[in-house]
Amino acid sequence: MNSSSETVTDSGNNTSPAPGKPPQRVVCIGAGPACLTAARRLAAEGADVTVLERDPRHVGGISRTEHYKGFRFDVGGHRFFSKSDEIEALWDEILGDQLITRPRKSRIFYNGKLFDYPLRAMDALTKLGFLESALCMASYAKARIFPVKNPQTFEEWVTNEFGHRLYSIFFETYTEKVWGMKCREISADWAAQRIKGLSLGGAVRSALAPRWFTRWRARKNKTPKTLIESFRYPKLGPGQMWEAAADQVQEFGGRVLLGMDVNQLVFDSETGYWQVVAADQDGQQHRFDCDHVISSAAIAELGDYLDPPPPEPVLSAAHALRYRDFLTVALIVRDVDCFDDNWIYIHDSSVKVGRIQNFKSWSPHLVPDPELNCLGLEYFCFSGDGLWDSDDDALIRLADEELIQLGLVTPGHVVDGTVIRQPRAYPVYDENYEDRISLFREWQEKEMPGLHLIGRNGMHKYNNQDHAMMTGLLTAENILSGTDTWDVWQVNQDAEYHESGEDRTLAMSERLVPRSVESADPGKEA
C-alpha cells in the first residue's frame, strides 16, 4: 500500500470537467468503508483519486483489523451481510473466495446464565426459573392492565410493552452501558421506532414454533439465511476487505496515502476548486488540488478545517455534536474452557464490560495457536472519563478479573493482553442533534459546493457498514454523472435493522440509537 510522503500538487488542469464526464481530481478524507467504496468506484472510471488517511498503519476505520503478536481482532464485530444485492456483489468483487461463511451464535449473559439471542421463550423461561418466570408474567399482566399513559421515556414504553421485570432483565443494563444514559432519560419515541411490531405474545409464538417452521417461513419471506443462522466474514478479519479495496484503488490509478492528517480545506468560490492541506508524520505539509472533496471525517472536526470558516452558529453546532467512544481489551486466553459464541452481551451491572467477542469463532484464522484464543472485551465510555484514561495494564487486569467473575474463564487462563481505544465510535442522538446537523448541512451545501459528506461520522448517522458503503457508492455516482440524482441522506433513513430478519423475536439490536427524553413531544401519542 502506498504511503509515500511525496508532495502532491495541482496537475495544472484549471477547467471544470464537461457535464457527465468523470472529474479530473477527487480527494477522499478517511480510508474507511465509505470513502474506499467511493474511491474505488471513481478510480475505476478514470477519475484522479487521492485518499488521505490519518492512521499510519491501517485502513478500514472502525472496520479495520488490529494485530498483536500474530493475533488479529476486530474493533467491534463486523458481520458482512446486506439487504442490498449491489453491496453483496461488491464484497464478492473485492475479496472473492477470501470471504468465508461462519455459523452465527450469540447469547445474553444474565444472573450467571447464558440466554439465547434472539431470545427464545422456552429457553428464557426455563433459565429464569418458575418463580422468576411467574413474576415476569405477572409484571407483564400488570403493565397491560395499568399501562403508563402517553409514555415519555424508554423505560416507560418498554415497561408498557413487556412489563417492568422483563425490561429490567433484558433491556435496561446493556442499553445504559452502551449509551451512557439512563433509560428514563431516553425518549419513548426512539423505543417505539426501534421495537415497533414486537409483542411478548408474538415472541412466545415465534419461539415455540418448531425450527423447521421458522426455516420455512424464512424461505417464504425471503429472509437472508445470514440473518438467522450464519454470516459471511473475511478470512483474516474485516480489515482484509478494506486492505484489498485500497490496493484496488491504486491498481485503478488512484492513491491511498497513510499517516496524512488533514488540517485545512480551502474553497475558492471564484473557480469552484478545492485545496486540501495535510501533514505527514514528519510534520511536512502537502497540498492536494481537486474539484471534489469527499469527507468521512467527523462533522465536529470538519468545521475546524474549512476555509473560509463557517459562521459562528454553524461552527458551534458542529462542535456540539457528541459521540460515544469505546475501548477493546483483547485478552489472549487458553482455550480449554472457552465459550463458542461469536459474541455475548453482558446484562450484568456488577461488571463494566458490555460485550465480549470470541475471535476464534469469527474465524479460526485470526488465532495463530490452536491452544489459545483471543477474547475482545468491549467497554463503552466517553473519552476523558476514568475508564478511558486508565492505563493499559489496569484495563487488562480489570478485564481478566471480570471474565473470572462472570465465570467465562477460570483463573490463570489469561496469558497476555492489549488495549485498543476507539474514539467517536458511535454518534450520539441527543435532543438537538438533528437541528445541529441541519444547520451545518444548509450552510455547507450552499457555501461549499463540491464538498460531500458520507459515512457514519461524516454524516453523524449510526450507519451499518453496508449503509456507509452505499453513501460512498451513491456519492461517486453523483460525481460521475455531474448531477445530484441520489440523496445519500436517505440511505438507512428509517434506521431499521432487525438482527433476526423477518423473525421479530423479543430482541434488542446493538444497532439501536437513542434520543434524549428532552426531545420527546409531550403532546405526542406513543
pLDDT of 396-410, one tens digit each? 999 999 999 999 988
**100 pLDDT above the threshold of 60:** yes
C-alpha cell at position 70: 500474530
Low-confidence winner among 138-147, 206-215, 329-338, 420-429 (lowest mean pLDDT): 206-215
Q: State how far the Cα of 524 lies from the Cα of 160, in Å rounded to an integer.
A: 16
Which contacts qualify for 457-460: CB closer than 8 Å, 24 or more apart? Answer: 457/296, 457/297, 457/298, 457/299, 457/323, 457/424, 457/427, 458/30, 458/34, 458/295, 458/296, 458/297, 458/298, 458/299, 458/302, 459/299, 459/488, 459/489, 460/298, 460/299, 460/321, 460/427, 460/433
Q: Name residue 55's amino acid.
A: D
C-alpha cell at position 519: 426531545
DSSP states along 117-168: ES--HHHHHHHH-HHHHHHHHHHHHHHHHSPPSS--BHHHHHHHHH-HHHHI
* Band of pLDDT at residue 504, cut at 50, 70 and 90: very low
pLDDT at 193: 52
**220 pLDDT above the threshold of 80:** no
Mean pLDDT of 231-246: 96
Mean pLDDT of 449-475: 93
* C-alpha to C-alpha distances, 139 to 142, 148, 350, 508, nearest whole angstrom: 5, 13, 24, 19
Mean pLDDT of 362-374: 94
More confident position, 258 or 410:
258
Q: What percent of the chain has pLDDT over 90?
A: 62
C-alpha cell at position 245: 479495496
Mean pLDDT of 487-515: 49
pLDDT at 495: 37
**449 pLDDT above the threshold of 50:** yes
Mean pLDDT of 517-523: 45
Tens digit of each residue's pLDDT (9 = 90 or more) over 296-311 = 999 989 999 999 999 9
pLDDT at 180: 87
pLDDT at 463: 79
* Band of pLDDT at residue 84, cut at 50, 70 and 90: confident
* Band of pLDDT at residue 206, cut at 50, 70 and 90: low
Mean pLDDT of 47-60: 97
In the chain, the domains with their CATH numbers are 25-64+237-320+430-490 (3.50.50.60), 120-226+500-519 (no CATH), 323-427 (3.90.660.20)
Average pLDDT, the chain: 84
Mean pLDDT of 158-173: 89
